[in-house]
Structure 1
Amino acid sequence: MSGSVVPARRRGLADEVADRIRDAVFDGVYAPGSQLREVELAEALGVSRGPVREALFKLEREGLVRSEWHRGTTVTALSDDDVAELNSLRAALEQLAVELVVERAGEDSLAVIDAAVGRMERAIDEHEMVRCDLEFHDAVYAAAGHRRLQDAWQAIRSQVHLFLLTRIGVATDGYLDGIPAEHRELVTALRARDRATALALFAEHRRHAFEILSGRTD
């Protein structure tokens, strides 16, 4: 019986490998559509192929990579349908989060959201800005105080990160300057407990990114 139990350290190693590959994707080392070969990853990370294979399975469950028999494993390239589905699901989750934050978030939680905007204002490049953007939304979901809602957000977080990376791949004009100001407005509305304004501003924030990815400029 004991011989069939997988050592705990192996799972920990696979998680670490997943973290390294995920970070490489989010840092732009592997662009959407890039092929991820087990042998090359194992050599680059200094591990055997087993942990790499486990890590890729984990990332596939997150939606960050896709595995197809004729292509192997590739970084997910979001289709138009993927973009539309992520946008609509994010809208549904975010509406509830905003309503709950306006209704019951305490000052400490609002301060965490505010601090996330401060980090955005100091971001030095687009990839750092995307990370700060995700941290802002992490703080909003945490402030909502709804565990299952936060779990639902975590389930799509990597895909939303990919969504935002795809967005900056399409256009970066005004991104570094404009995004912090947008989020500062969002915080102001949340602090004012202005439900209608907050919902409208969050919807506009999502719409802008969605239209860039949809090729619309109006």
Structure 2
Amino acid sequence: MFTGIVEETGEVVDVTDTDDGRRLRIAGDTVLSDVTHGASIAVSGVCLTVESFDAESFTVFLASETVEKTYLGTVVAGDLVNLERAMPGDGRFDGHLVQGHVDTTAEVLAVEEVGEDWWFTFDLPEGYGQYVVEKGSVTLDGISLTVAERGDGQFSVAIIPTTYDLTNLSDKEPGDEVHLEVDVVAKYVENMLDGYTDRLA
């Protein structure tokens, strides 16, 4: 489990495509401080398992399903990704409950600088609108964010300077994709209510 508080941006330094998926080698700093073989690291919101590591980088494998459902299937050496280690049992819960199980991708529709902040607008893919509510939580590229405005088929978030500077959002522009993970609590509630209404029928 993660909290959506990105610890650092890492750089993809090598990509190897195989018949079964692709392997990424990612340079990092903070996330390597206590890394172990088999550790979970969220890479732009995608929970991946560390295969190997050295003092400067770690390697993860993307199965074919991950390649198909995320944009990690198109990243190249030099691209920046957001990194967060799995939350320890005694850790501080600063964001919200993030699984690292990306639901879909969303397209950046607009980026606007407003004073010191940034206003990002994204499209809301069909089938996910019921999970995204104004002032609710959403995870974009592994970043825990609050929905500032919800429109017809789109939503916006306000990005403070610290988040803009410490994540890969500073590299995003209209037309780019981000990973979208909706609030899992909303999905659990929907599932429970479906069962409840079925029993009432």
- TM over 0.5, shorter chain: no
Q: Which category describes the TM-score, using the shorter chain as reference length? A: under 0.3
More helix by share: 1
Using the size of structure 1 for normalisation, the TM-score is 0.25
Using the size of structure 2 for normalisation, the TM-score is 0.26
More strand by share: 2
